[in-house]
Amino acid sequence: MDQVLTAGVERKLCSGRPLIREGELEGYAFVLVRGIVKVTAATETGEALLAIRVGGDLVGEMGVLEKAPRSATVTACTPVWTRVVHRNEFLDLMRRSPDFSVEVAAMISWRLRWANRRRLEFAGQPARVRVCRVLDEIVDTYGARHGSTWSLGVPLTQAEIASLAGIALRTAEKELGQLEQDGVVVRRYRATEVADRDALRLIANGGTNPH
């Protein structure tokens, strides 16, 4: 993605600001230079968290390629630095650079493969395992240790954890409550932290909490 890092114009957004709004028809893609964003979509019962993206990722490319309304909302979780690339410039870059075109295709393919793998891994798994797998994956990718606990590194609500795990909010609240009683997680105001990573991984792999 090196070619696109010099394309477009730089834009900085504060935490909580949307880069993309679901349903809007815009001709821009965004290259995340630094920061973390959440990708969400409206459902009949509220809003579902679809993915988390970080520096180096590309967002909004589907709308640019398809000339279609945005299928999701992308919101900054932290201060975010991006390169905003207009559709014409983006498509011109793809035409001029076969390497860039291959990178874009590979990225889209990887995301589809990841989504398929997630569905297969979660199929038939109990809610407790799903929640632990989501938390373990997030801590592995974005988390940081603070004293005796691990932060997720991304501000996620219990509803968003439920969305990633593919379970109902009430079920997620129940499982997180039990995990807290077992000493695996600590729930704080608008935050969940991991207190025992070994136990979390054990449960995520289908084992039983040893405590």
Tell me which residue range forms the domain holding 49. Answer: 2-121
Predicted local distance difference test score (pLDDT) of residue 86: 92
- Whether 211 is in a domain gets the answer no
User: Which residue from 14, 72, 49 is spatially nearest to 138, judged by alpha carbons?
Assistant: 49
Q: How many structural domains comprise the chain?
A: 2
pLDDT of residue 2: 65
Question: Contact 55/5 with Cβ under 8 angstroms?
Answer: no
CA–CA dist 118, 142 (Å, integer): 18
The number of beta carbons lying within 10 Å of the beta carbon of residue 36 is: 20
Q: What residues are paired with 46 via a beta bridge?
A: 43
Does a structural domain hold residue 105? yes
User: Residue with structure tokens 């509803």?
Assistant: 159
The answer to whether residues 165 and 97 belong to one domain is: no
What DSSP character marks residue 42? E
- Whether residue 116 is found in the same domain as residue 176: no
Residue 189: give its domain's CATH number. Answer: 1.10.10.10
Question: 75, 92, 121 — which closes off a domain?
Answer: 121
- Sole residue written with tokens 């589809």: 112
Cα distances (Å, whole numbers) of residue 69 to 50, 82, 146, 156: 17, 21, 41, 26
**Which pLDDT score is estimated for 209?**
59
- Domain co-membership, 100 together with 13: yes
Assess whether 114 and 135 both reside in one domain.
no
Q: What is the pLDDT of residue 56?
A: 85
Alpha-carbon gap, residue 19 to 33, rounded angstroms: 13
Q: What does the alpha-carbon distance between residue 160 and residue 65 come to, in Å, rounded to a whole number?
A: 28
* Cα separation, 136 vs 205, whole angstroms: 10
pTM of the complete model: 0.77
Q: What pLDDT is attached to residue 3?
A: 67
Question: Which SS3 state, helix, strand or coil, does residue 172 take?
Answer: helix
Q: Does 85 lie in the same domain as 8?
A: yes
Tell whether 54 and 154 lie within a shared domain. Answer: no
Specify the pLDDT at position 44.
79
Is 209 a domain residue? no
Residue bearing tokens 């199929």: 123
10 and 85 together in one domain: yes
Per-residue pLDDT tens listing for the chain (211 residues): 666 767 789 999 999 899 999 999 888 999 999 999 999 998 877 788 888 898 889 999 988 998 889 999 999 988 999 999 999 999 999 999 898 899 999 998 988 888 888 778 777 889 999 999 999 989 998 888 988 899 998 888 888 899 888 888 999 999 999 999 999 999 987 789 999 999 999 999 887 655 5
User: Residue 101: beta bridge partners?
Assistant: none
Last residue of a domain, one of 86, 121, 156: 121
| Residue-level pLDDT at 174 | 96
